[in-house]
Structure 1
């Protein structure tokens, strides 16, 4: 017997092709206002019939309604007390309804739930992801498991009189262990495949990011600083995925009675705030010649940018809970409703200048400066940024190649 499902306009059709019976025999029963049972799971009558095809030996029954986002299964057809909704993106087939030995999957679920069930999609709060539902189907007991379980239950009762029956319990336990190992291995394979697919997507994204960054650097002199900052901010969001929002020039109350406007206020998924300052690549970072005791020291642009971030962070900390309320109003349209801005030891990110022409001593001195302020800010040049992207690309390539 073949069962397939098809969404036709606003109806879900079950298309039945019997093997050992002619559809006219079924129709004769239905026309007597009697019911017909399909795989011990579906119960239909003449009101469900939509189409008959003698040539193909097919009967089409309506077993559900197709709504805007979900398809709801007819309760009477599957004999349940709750409504079951499948996302319209889910291609339904027999295994979603019928398990081994013609066990009704939805009827079993119906016995243990207390409300309607949504499967797939994401619009409903307590929906069951389709991946979880597929896993549930995989875990439905098969014939061998049921036989082992029945033997083990009987052995538990009679082993006092028939000691050799204890082996049935051991066989059942070993069977379950094998099943769990097999399922675990399958899950690991599924997860690994998903990681590889995601890695391919990320690889394309970061390749595009690198190309865009190089193009921006080539024409940096012709791009206004405001436009430059917006474009670079978009690239940085991929490198710092923990941030869900980056809002430009948010007003911060200054301790010197002057308002502060950092380039970007970053907000992570929990509402915690950090600062992002973006300077153009032509900003000089270190003295061109070694000065004090053969050391390269930061020039005014770098020292000023660091001090600027320090002051922003200091103002945020002093502002405290009062500032959080003000920021909540400023950011209300930029953040999800359940994310509230929080000021707890903010950190800074500073991007400026180039370092590709640094000699080894300059690299060492610049690293020393970065480490000195590591508790306050992540300081990097555009060449550092390119190197980070290259490292990510190399790691993604390795992940994709792993078998």
Structure 2
């Protein structure tokens, strides 16, 4: 009953509506719309169910399982082939980044400059149809930055710089392909995507997952962070230790909500 509109609220609402109409033609001395909104802000409003609390146990189970799977993979990485490693890790990535609803392996792409066809290892597509690229490498420890400095700087190793260059080229090809590329990808994957779903090439970004950084010195980690930020606007470079940390922080947050 306390939530029912009373006479005062109805008068405030009527004044706000009239003021809204008149303000298009006249200057009013008082802002009745603002007064009405302030009244509503003070009034007790309807409160829905706490969805975070409702799903906290499920989310906690999900992220805990992902962390266990990732650590298990890292403890036995030699037993995985490159292809199988990528397939297994993609399961973790798609659950950790739920905005992506499609992932296509060996996605065809047109190199319009060299007039040839190429393929992207994995093409990610989000729920809005926007495309991104992901490159997954097995977690070799010494593939990120040099062990020795060059002019007092740790510089990216060939494995990292080569992967960055590869992703940048794929992004370049996608952007140049433009509208024709969208139509070509839609035709190619018409049996795999929902009816009416449109694939869009709008400044695609890249994700690179590779290497470990837990054994880096502080100076190496600082220079690696500089390297990551250099490409941050286009490419997100993530190590396997970064993934573990993200999962651990996420689990800690869901545990706090569930208690």
User: What TM-score bracket applies, with the shorter chain setting the length?
Assistant: 0.7 to 0.9
Task: Spell out the pairing of 1:244-255 with structure 2 (5 A cutoff).
Answer: 244-254=101-111, 255=113
Which position in structure 2 is the counterpart of 1:370?
228
In structure 2, the gaps of 5 or more residues are 11-39
Q: Counterparts of 2:160 and 2:147 in 1: how far apart (Å)?
A: 16
TM-score normalised by L of structure 2? 0.81
Deviation sequence 1:36-91 (CA, Å, 0-9, x none): xxxxxxxxxxxxxxxxxxxxxxxxxxxxxxxxxxxxxxxxxxxxxxxxxxxxxxxx
Residue from 235, 238, 252 that aligns with 1:394:
252
Cα distance 1:311–1:365, how it changes in 2: closer, same or farther (>3 A)? same
Instruction: Give 1:337 shift.
Output: 1.4
1:45-194 to structure 2, matched below 5 A, reads 181=44, 184=46, 187-188=47-48, 190=49, 192=50, 194=51
**Equivalent residue of 2:233, what SS?**
coil
Larger RCO, structures 1/2 (Cα 8 Å, 6+ apart): 2
Corresponding residue for 1:56?
none
Query: What is the Cα-based RMSD across aligned positions, in Å?
Result: 2.4
Counterpart residue number, 1:275: 133
Cα distance in 1 for partners of 2:140, 2:158 equals 14
| Conserved? CA contact 1:328–1:340, under 8 Å | yes
Counterpart in the other structure of 2:94: 237
1:313-343 CA deviation, whole Å, 9 max, x = no partner? 0000111111111100122222211321000
Q: Which residue matches 1:351?
A: 209
Q: Structure 1's 312 and 373: CA in aligned 2 closer, same or farther, altered over 3 A?
A: same
1:315 aligns with 2:185: no
Asked if the contact 2:209/2:240 (under 8 Å) is kept, the reply is yes
Aligned equivalents of 2:145 and 2:204: distance in 1? 30
Tell me what 2:28 maps to.
none
1:290/1:281 CA distance change after superposition, 3 Å: same
In 1, Cα distance between the equivalents of 2:94 and 2:79? 23
Kept after mapping to 2: 8 A contact 1:284/1:302:
no
Alpha-carbon offset, residue 287 of structure 1: 4.2
Partner of 1:12: none
Rounded Cα–Cα distance in structure 2 between residues aligned with 1:284 and 1:263:
23
2:200 maps to 1:342: yes
2:34 matched residue in structure 1: none
- In proportion to residue count, which structure has more strand? 1
1:351/1:382 contact within 8 Å kept: yes
Give the SS at the match of 1:252: strand
Partner residue, 1:212? 69
Secondary structure in structure 1 of the residue aligned to 2:204: coil
Contact conserved, 1:283 with 1:301, CA < 8 A, in 2?
no
Structure 2 SS opposite 1:367:
helix
Asked if the contact 2:146/2:155 (under 8 Å) is kept, the reply is no
* Pairwise CA distance, 1:288: 4.2
Considering only CA atoms, is the larger Rg found in Structure 1 or Structure 2? Answer: 1
Aligned partners of 1:329 and 1:298: how far apart in 2?
39
- 1:3-55 Cα offsets, whole Å, 9 max, x none, are xxxxxxxxxxxxxxxxxxxxxxxxxxxxxxxxxxxxxxxxxxxxxxxxxxxxx
The aligned length equals 226
Aligned residues of 2:67 and 2:247 also touching (Cα < 8 A): yes
